[in-house]
A = this chain, B = another copy of it.
Amino acid sequence: MNIGEASKATGISVKMLRYYEEIGLVQPAQRTESGYRIYSDKNIATLRFVRRARDLGFQVKQIGALLDLWENGSRASADVKSLALAHVSELEQRRRELDEMIATLNHLARNCHGDDRPDCPILTSLGADSDAPAPRTPRKKRSRKGFASAR
């Protein structure tokens, strides 16, 4: 199988197949004399594993760890489980943050009449001159144009 076929077989784009190889997540594929990558069934199976892990929201580093465990018959299932559960905690944390944002926005939107009058509690709330929370910082680009079209 060449890379295009491997892409179809795994659901991973050609670009990503090359990328995963480049960052060392998977072994470099074999090559034909002319330099084309060739994939064996085993390679495909590994790549499918990678795709499924990614679909479950694992980061590349974690997928690497899972792959190591998968390929290592002598691993302890406890290791796998703790990796998975730690990941679940992260996902749940993100979900909590999303929930909060959703609730706040829905609350604000509910109180916005949404007609052609300009007063809107959403903007009013964003502009409230109250609190001054925890820090963050920016970096580099250009002039202010086209933001209005972002809607």
Contact = CB atoms under 8 A, between A and B. Distances in A.
A116 interface: yes
Main secondary structure of the interface of A (DSSP, over half): helix
A143 interface: yes
A8 B138 contact: no
Contact of A84 (B87, B117, B122, B139): B122
B88 A118 contact: no
B112 A81 contact: yes
Interface in A116-146: 116-120, 122-123, 125-129, 131-145
A148 B64 CA distance: 7
Determine which residue in A20, A53, A77, A134 has the highest number of CB atoms from chain B within 10 A of its CB, and name it.
A77
Copies, count:
2
Contacts of A25: 144, 147
B66 A126 contact: yes
A66 to B, nearest CB: 7
Interface of A: 7-27, 45, 48-49, 51-53, 55-57, 61-62, 64-70, 73-88, 91-92, 94-95, 97-99, 101-102, 104-106, 108-109, 112-120, 122-123, 125-129, 131-145, 147-151
Given A22-B140, A69-B123, A88-B106, 7 more contacts: A17-B138, A19-B137, A25-B147, A52-B126, A75-B118, A77-B122, A80-B122
